[in-house]
Structure 1
């Protein structure tokens, strides 16, 4: 079934639902990242990919409708179409709300990326300590005034 109409505004309601669904997944992912719940994060991967693919499909349909209406098939053309088509205030408001929702999702994704990077750095530091007895980049000045790696000794006792 083709869910796209002839107007670039026809998919806005569905796009709202899709970006809200992705936003919820990103918020849940953030909770799992903060809790270092790897299984929870992994469980969201497929759902996030499907949500992103659905959003792309909807945007592509809207771009095709823009092109059919004589506008460039890109996001910035939507504002021009709204202004020139005599679209209702409700349609214009819906578009602006969609942009705000997308910005919220983008920010959540950015924060989640930062959390992932911080966790990767922590994991790498732990690996360095376990493998080499030091954290890379943790130089200190020695008695001679030269930098020296700070070593952390860990002895494993089995018994």
Structure 2
């Protein structure tokens, strides 16, 4: 059976890889390279799927030691084993990485929201321009829209 510190270290490694993917995603969103997003989403999904068995293993180690799952169990474990610096350090590392991932995910969400807003504005502009009747003449050349007068429509 793996030691609790080893399981938490493995979780931290996966979360660290996820943080790297979120940073890569942020660069893609900043540069507008939308073609890279599908493959990146696949890699992020695969990385997240690696976390579930590690979390289960951590919770299994806690249960075998008589503690609750997740943070309450770790907190109780650390309170009962204050001298185990390895578990404490690995847990702190995991918590720091998780906080970084949350912040990167928040920022990436905001970048996506801004891109969507800008795209919607551009689409509105294009649609409005396409509704103009006098944009191009019969010869395909741009024409200046002359103000219409009531007499022109009679």
Quick one: structure 1 residues 154 and 97, their matched pair in 2 at CA, closer, same or farther if it must change by over 3 Å? farther
How far 1:7 moved relative to its partner? 4.2
Question: Secondary structure of the residue that 1:11 maps to in structure 2?
Answer: helix
Count of matched residue positions in the alignment of Structure 1 and Structure 2: 137
Which residue does the alignment assign to 2:150?
Answer: none
Is 1:76 aligned with 2:68?
Answer: no
- Structure 1: where are the runs of 5+ without partners? 134-151
Provide Cα deviations, 1:40-86, integer angstroms capped at 9, x if missing partner.
22220111001111122211221122122222212232121122135
Report how far residue 101 of structure 1 moved: 1.0
Aligned match of 1:12: 8
| Residue 128 to residue 107, structure 1, CA distance change in 2 (3 Å) | same
1:140 aligned partner: none
- Larger RCO (CA within 8 A; separation ≥ 6): 2
TM-score by length of 2: 0.77
Task: Give me the whole-angstrom Cα distance separating, in 1, the residues matched to 2:5 and 2:80.
Answer: 13
Q: Does 1:59 pair with 2:62?
A: no
The runs of 5 or more residues in structure 2 that have no matched partner are 142-154
TM-score under structure 1 length normalisation:
0.75
Return the alpha-carbon distance in structure 1 between the equivalents of residues 16 and 57 of structure 2: 18
* Residue in 2 that maps onto 1:124: 120
Which of the pair is proportionally richer in helix? Answer: 2
* Structure 1 residue 153: Cα displacement: 6.5
